[in-house]
A and B are shown apart, each in its own frame.
Chain A
Amino acid sequence: MSAPPPRERAVRAPLRPPWSEQGLLEVFQHRYILSLLVRREIAARYQGSVLGLLWSYVNPLSQFFIYYFVMGILFGRAQRTEAFAIHVFAGLIVVHFFTETMNAGTRSIVRNKSLVQKMAVPREMFPVASMLVSLFHVGPQVVILLIATTLSGWRPDPEGMVLGVIGLLISMTLGTALALMFSAANVFLRDVQNAVNVLSNFVRFGSPMMYPYVLVAKRFHGHTTLYLLNPITEAVLDFQRAFWVGATNHPARTAAIDMPDNLFWLSIRALLISLVVLVIAQSTFSRLERRIPERLL
């Protein structure tokens, strides 16, 4: 009646808990799954729409035109800030990347619940994949920016390029951190995704994208410590330093007037702040994660 004696199967792997315990590190050990998830996200985000992937560009472009029209033309910024269109667009790339990461990341675990409930996959995968999908869209936007700024007389300079990279790193780190934290919190309270929408608005208006930094410095008589504590401010300034300053008539003067002193060290500080937030986010995530599968309905 009972089964015949099974063949011997020697398993060399060690005995260990079946779940993952290394958090984000685990994600990068599973790059193949990550790449599948990213490809899937890109395919699924605009599934069933005719324009498809184009929406990823329609959205930031429409924002760009609105900001340019309202701030540049109605409020007259375009006359006072040189190459204002490039100023706005450079900032918009960073801000849009960051808010997209945060918004899509926040919803990522709930959206993937069919997988989360049935497969043992490191759940940090989902917010990280959201970040990479948003990053994927940054590429073409930077190409457009490069064309526009080169036509305005921009030439790359080493300092600007380094800062541009740091700026991108800041927004990637902070975006991933917040996506991680909010994605887990969103499982427990769906209020989180609405709160994140509100936060996105603050980010849009709270960073020097549609207005120049010098305006803030003037209004607050140089007391911009608090304003500069927001890492996204530095990320935006870095991108403008990289792609906008060189497009103005006197880059050295623009950098001196429109950029804060010590932008490099401010950016390093912003990157460190973002990394600290990432560590906090990971520990929050690990704590919340234990109850995610049972709370996903």
Chain B
Amino acid sequence: MTDRRSIIVRHVSKTFTLRYHRTLKQMSVAMMRQQDMSDSFLAVNDVSFTIQQGESIGLMGLNGSGKSTLLKMINGIMRPDRGKVLTRGRIAGLIATGAGFHPQLTGRDNVYLNAAILGMTEAETARKFDDIVEFADIGRFLDSPVGHYSSGMFARLGFAVAIHVDADIFLADEVLAVGDRPFKRKCLAKMQEIRDSGTTLFYVSHATGSVRKMCDRVLVLEQGRLAFDGPVDEGIRFLHYDEDDEENALETEEELDEEMGADI
């Protein structure tokens, strides 16, 4: 039997250092007053899980619970202080709303650069370029610097590039937070397409509706710890254990749309 593990996270921890005083003057004043020079905080605390190829995971949790940090470590942007992360194949995705674009470069150049970093060759990018532009729907802004884009256009272009990479693992961190409703619909449809092609999907969202629709397993982070790992409905119940009044309101199809709109 072949090994179908796609993402392995083993006892991963990440600590951030908060530094209060940065200049020599501030530091000496703080030293005289015997204040703390720095403080560390555990953003991700001993998290372990294994994901098989083709699973679609909803990563949920309150703001500041370590979701983006975890995603950055899976993506390879950050390295854990302890533990290890292993992934298989090409990874694409969007981290923390918006792509890594260079504001001075035009949309066109950024598409090529981003695609290259995500592992696409020049020919592959050229082949998919029209699709990317059509998906992003940014029209004549394609050749102006992305610094002039609206936040929605910025996010759309980033998402369009990431989603056209033929990736084995797709990470989507609050991709739908910006962008209008038609675009959100389009994104969800495209993400479903990606999921159905067998790509491992890692989807960060606060929107229970879209998580239900997209995912077959939910991870919940609470203050950096993995608090829940299991089926979707249970996970969502777990997340809302103290918010009974909200829970009942989100069941029907129409409200799903409403809720997608509130995806922040």
Contact = CB atoms under 8 A, between A and B. Distances in A.
Contacts of B117: 33, 115, 119-121
Contacts of B96: 118
A9 B198 contact: yes
A90 B193 CA distance: 60
A15 B86 CA distance: 6
B232 A9 contact: no
Contact of A18 (B87, B95, B113, B233): B87
Contacts of B102: 40, 44, 112, 114-115
Interface residues of B, number: 61
B53 interface: yes
Given A18-B91, A294-B17, 11 more contacts: A2-B215, A6-B55, A8-B198, A13-B168, A14-B88, A16-B88, A17-B76, A17-B86, A30-B116, A40-B102, A115-B100
B88 A118 contact: no
B196 A32 contact: no
23 contacts: A1-B232, A3-B195, A3-B215, A4-B196, A6-B54, A6-B195, A9-B198, A11-B6, A15-B3, A15-B8, A15-B86, A15-B87, A17-B86, A17-B87, A19-B79, A20-B76, A40-B113, A44-B102, A114-B100, A115-B117, A116-B100, A118-B77, A118-B96
Interface string B39-54: 0000000000000011
Contacts of B2: 10
A290 interface: yes
Contact of A32 (B55, B116, B216): B116
B44 to A, nearest CB: 12
Interface string B214-227: 11100000000000
Interface in B1-23: 2-3, 5-6, 8, 16-17
Interface stretch (B103-111, B129-137, B174-182): B103-111
Contacts of B74: 18
Given A9-B197, A36-B116, A47-B104, A120 B216 contact: no
A114 B98 CA distance: 10
B72 A6 contact: no
Contact of B232 (A2, A4, A117): A2
Given A36-B116, A47-B104, A11 B98 contact: no
Interface string B69-93: 0001111111100001111111100
B112 interface: yes
Nearest to B168: A11
A48 to B, nearest CB: 9
Nearest to A21: B79
